[in-house]
Amino acid sequence: MIRKIRNIVIALVFIPVIGVKAQDFHLSMYDAAPIYLNPAMTGLFEGSWRLHAQYRDQWRAVNFKPYNTALLSFDASYKKWGFGVQFANYRAGAGNFNIFQGLLSVAYNVPLGAKKAHNLAFGVQGGVTNKSVQYQLLTFDNQYTTANGGGFDQTMPSGEVFDVQSRYTPIVNFGMLYYFSKQESRLNPFVGVSAFNLINPNESFFGDKAKYPFRFYGHAGVRINITELFYIVPKVLVMNQDKFFEQTYALDLGYYISSSDLYLLGGLVYRNADAMVFSLGLKISNITAKFAYDVNMSRLTNTSSGKGAYEISLTYVFSKKKRKEYEKICPRL
């Protein structure tokens, strides 16, 4: 059983390296990191600048080296413009397969109509991704020996020929977002689309061609202000990358305790045929903290015992002065 689990994990990790198509890492609290979700959301918040950090730990139940994702971003707004920078790092498996990405982001917000309640935002990102693997730490079929009861001998030739151990690729992303920002409205809808890896660069470690596949997001939802103190946000996310297709349906809730200037936050996410995600959080003044846990519902459930991932996010927004009533009230994600 241990060997079977190890083979599953190595396959999941190494497919992006030797398999022709790779899948980008994803987050359960995807809109806690708005620049990661859609470049058009750069600078789209109530405040002067925003600092965000997020961490995800996945598959600890089936792998002694779990999948780790770390994200750090900073963005600021100036009039109708937004500017930002984002760093992300992903590490997985026994071969320390690692992806590090640095991106610069710029967005432009266009208010529509006399009252400027309807808004369109456009954003673009550009940067570089480094992918690396310590293939010397991995074991392959050719290294299996029947001696001494059977096992892997890493001193034996693997039969694999790596052209490089580390590769840099350019990245260009684009996004669009519509949102309705009228504060006293009962409903604040929003809808966005974003496209990633537009250059479609080669990411092979073997000297052949393995194009980094496009990734597309479509996300939509509506903030429903039930009362002045309580709101809900039903929302949906659809993602496609090559043959991989993901659907996510979610419901966020927020309750404001006016005596403490405190928001109590909660959420429920269903990722189709994959996981159920529960989240809790607090918003105190300019600081928002959230915690989420994935309950695995995929074909690995028997192996993982339902244990999927945990995720933590922390956001700080600095504001010099109060925003105008209709200015950049993005659907308060």
232's tokens? 């809900």
Give the DSSP H or E segment for 54.
Answer: strand 49-58
Task: pLDDT tens for the chain, 333 residues: list them.
Answer: 334 334 433 434 443 333 334 446 779 999 999 999 999 999 999 899 999 999 999 877 777 678 899 999 999 999 999 999 999 999 987 788 899 999 999 999 999 987 889 999 999 999 999 999 887 777 788 878 888 888 887 778 777 777 778 899 999 999 999 999 988 899 999 999 999 999 988 888 877 788 888 999 999 999 999 998 999 999 999 999 988 899 999 999 999 998 888 999 999 999 988 889 999 999 998 999 999 999 988 777 766 677 788 999 999 999 886 544 434 444 444
What is the number of H-type helices and E-type strands within the chain?
3, 16
Angle at 141 between CA 138 and CA 143, to 5 degrees: 70
DSSP notation for 68-128: EEEEEEEEEEETTEEEEEEEEEEEETTTTEEEEEEEEEEEEEEEESTT--EEEEEEEEEEE
